[in-house]
Structure 1
């Protein structure tokens, strides 16, 4: 661009020098570049990483993208990656994992006082599933029938406790539940249950290894458990 400055002197001579102080060239009537902001995922949760994209039909320099959390603190700044998509100029910014619930503000700036803002809401993360084992282990549950008294429970202790530390109880659900790779149920006198125990575990707790033991007395149960 070439700018010509012209003047007219009050007392012209053959040679005249002209000076201007604090000259400023101001562009008028131009439109400010338009910037479109978007983010993915559309509905982030705590722990998610959000990718923010800024797009403009104007080439911009010194691009900066900042995300302010609900508490006012900024997320750690990372590199803004520039690219092209046809006629569009694009700048991408990826956040660190979100840690606050609420409205986050996206602030875009570039040279020439170009600015744009947008917001997105962060929802709480999904709670961890309950009941998962801390670590995988093999569990054997000695399931006593509904009418078994303490003598039968003591018979199980005498038969397997010192060697195996098997779990002892009288709940079929307790025996089958658990996200374990190895679950074994030793059902004592299963015929005393009101329904078919083998079918029960197959339907409601698939994957359980089912073993049935018949014993007339607690002493007989102790001996049979020792033989397992």
Structure 2
């Protein structure tokens, strides 16, 4: 995992791939003891979900908060961990709740070539796209927002640079690509600001 820039607060969900009706446990960890924290869950219908606080503890050098909420419908849930009574956004996750998963088959390209795909998460706005373009210009990397587009294709070499993979509804991992698109080289990048991403891409020297 490549961590770029400042940032130390992370959200882990269990299970990561829930079905409607399953209870979700959210574990938030940070090196900082953030004051007046809470977890805000926006349901697919844009209404707020009920969240139960399960306690706070310290594990080694990390502060830990635990919450639980219910997924009662299919769709995309937005999970925000906030501090200072909601004044500061500390961490963001998206969670997709679905009854089944569709697999997208691979296809062959007209020409064989080596491809680097900078995969931006659904939370990325225009500033992230611009930073990715600037950082990818010299290497002529492909940029996009689809994990399936990143994995598809019968090329000699395929490398996915996944920006903030924890911001996806289903956290993107090397195992996910190995299952759905074998042969992918997967590099996760945790960037806390667009300029951090741009600088990292410009200096990246990974071999295909």
TM-score (norm 1): 0.41
RCO higher in structure (CA 8 A, sep ≥6): 2
Structure with bigger gyration radius: 1
TM-score (norm 2): 0.45
